[in-house]
C-alpha cells in the first residue's frame, strides 16, 4: 500500500490534463460560473425593465409581426384565387387593347372605335331625350321620355359614385376625354358606357315595340360598345362586365320608381 500511493501521485503529476492551464477544459472555474450567472441576472433584469418601459402598442405590434409574416407567406385560398383572376383580367385586357394608341396593331381604326363609343355616351343621350321631350305631344311618349331621362341621370350619378369609391385605373395610361369629365367617367370600374348601353337596350326592349331584327341589332350594339371600351384601352374586361350588371340593376331600379303620367305632367309644367 505505501508503495502504491507514491506511484499514483507520480501518475497525477505526469498527467498533462491536471495542470492549471488545462483545468478549465475539464472543469469550469467557479468564478466564471458566478460571473455568467450574475451577467444573466443583470441582462434579465434589464430586459424586464425595458419591457416595462415599452408602450403597450409596441408590445402588441411586436407580437403581431410574426402573424403578419405568416399571413404573407401563407395567403388564403381566396386571396390566391382573387389575385390570379385579377392577373388574367389585366393580361387579357391588354391583349384586347388593340386600339389603345396609334402604334397598336389596329391603331388606324381608333377613330372609328371612338365614334362607336360616343354612341353610348351620356351627354348625347341626355340631350337627345330632352329634345324629344320638348317635341313630344302625347302623354304616353312624355311618360316614357321622362322616365328615360331619370334613368340616364341615375346612371351618371351611380357610376360616378362607384368609380370614386373604387378608383381603379384602366389597363393603359389614357387620359379621359372632355365628355368623360362632364359625366365624371374618369376611372375604369365600372365602365359607364357599358352600364348605360345595357340599361338603354333593356329599357327600349321593354317599352318600345320593335321588330326582331331591331331587337337583335340593339343587343349587338350594346355588346359592341362594351367591347370598344376594352379595345381603346380605357377599361378592363371585368369593368365592362360589371357595367352590364349595374346597367341591368339600374333598369330594375327605374322600373320600381316608375313615374306615372300625372307625375310627369306635373314635372313638365314646373319645368
* Dist. CA 170–CA 189, nearest whole Å: 8
Does 224 reside within a domain? Answer: yes
pTM listed for this prediction: 0.69
Distance from the first to the final alpha carbon of the chain = 133
Does 88 reside within a domain? Answer: no
Q: Do 99 and 110 meet the contact criterion of CB atoms below 8 Å apart?
A: yes
pLDDT at 145: 93
pLDDT at 56: 54
pLDDT at 182: 79
Does 178 reside within a domain? Answer: yes
Per-residue pLDDT tens digits for 145-168: 999 999 999 999 999 999 999 988
Does 219 reside within a domain? Answer: yes
* Dist. CA 172–CA 105, nearest whole Å: 15
Residue 259 DSSP code: P
Nearest CA among 166, 243, 259, 157 for reference residue 202: 243
Tell me the three state secondary structure of residue 137. coil
Q: Do 251 and 151 meet the contact criterion of CB atoms below 8 Å apart?
A: yes
- CA 178 centroid distance within chain: 26
- Residue 240: exposed, middle, or buried by beta-carbon count in 10 A (0-12, 13-18, 19+)? buried
Does 145 reside within a domain? Answer: yes
Residue 69 CB: number of other CB atoms within 10 A? 10
pLDDT at 156: 92
Does 92 reside within a domain? Answer: no
Catalytic positions, please? 193, 235
Cell numbers for 114, please give them. Answer: 371612338
Does 171 reside within a domain? Answer: yes
Does 179 reside within a domain? Answer: yes
* Dist. CA 261–CA 271, nearest whole Å: 15
pLDDT at 7: 60
Number of separate domains in the chain: 1
Domain span at residue 242 reads 107-268
- Segments in the chain below pLDDT 70: 1-75
Radius of gyration in angstroms for the set of CA atoms belonging to the chain, rounded to a whole number: 39
Amino acid at each position: 500500500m505505501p508503495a502504491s500511493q507514491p506511484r499514483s501521485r507520480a501518475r497525477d503529476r505526469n498527467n498533462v490534463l491536471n495542470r492549471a492551464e488545462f483545468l478549465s477544459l475539464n472543469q469550469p472555474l467557479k468564478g466564471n460560473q458566478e460571473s455568467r450567472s450574475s451577467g444573466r441576472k443583470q441582462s434579465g433584469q434589464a430586459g424586464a425593465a425595458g419591457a416595462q418601459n415599452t408602450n403597450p402598442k409596441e408590445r402588441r405590434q411586436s407580437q403581431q409581426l410574426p402573424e403578419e409574416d405568416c399571413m404573407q407567406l401563407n395567403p388564403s385560398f381566396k386571396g390566391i384565387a382573387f389575385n390570379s383572376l385579377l392577373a388574367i383580367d389585366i393580361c387579357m385586357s391588354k391583349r384586347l387593347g388593340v386600339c389603345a394608341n396609334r402604334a397598336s396593331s389596329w391603331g388606324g381604326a381608333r377613330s372609328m372605335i371612338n365614334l362607336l363609343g360616343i354612341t353610348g355616351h351620356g351627354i348625347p343621350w341626355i340631350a337627345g331625350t330632352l329634345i324629344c321631350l320638348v317635341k313630344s305631344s302625347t302623354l304616353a311618349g312624355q311618360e316614357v321620355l321622362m322616365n328615360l331621362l331619370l334613368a340616364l341621370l341615375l346612371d351618371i350619378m351611380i357610376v360616378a359614385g362607384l368609380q370614386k369609391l373604387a378608383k381603379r385605373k384602366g389597363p393603359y395610361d389614357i387620359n379621359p376625354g372632355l365628355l368623360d369629365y362632364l359625366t365624371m367617367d374618369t376611372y375604369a370600374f365600372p365602365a359607364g358606357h357599358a352600364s348605360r348601353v345595357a340599361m338603354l337596350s333593356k329599357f327600349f326592349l321593354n317599352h318600345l315595340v320593335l321588330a326582331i331584327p331591331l331587337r337583335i341589332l340593339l343587343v349587338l350594339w350594346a355588346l359592341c360598345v362594351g367591347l370598344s371600351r376594352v379595345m381603346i384601352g380605357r377599361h378592363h374586361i371585368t369593368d365592362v362586365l360589371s357595367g352590364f350588371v349595374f346597367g341591368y340593376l339600374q333598369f330594375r331600379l327605374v322600373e320600381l320608381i316608375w313615374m306615372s303620367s300625372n307625375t310627369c305632367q306635373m314635372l313638365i309644367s314646373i319645368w
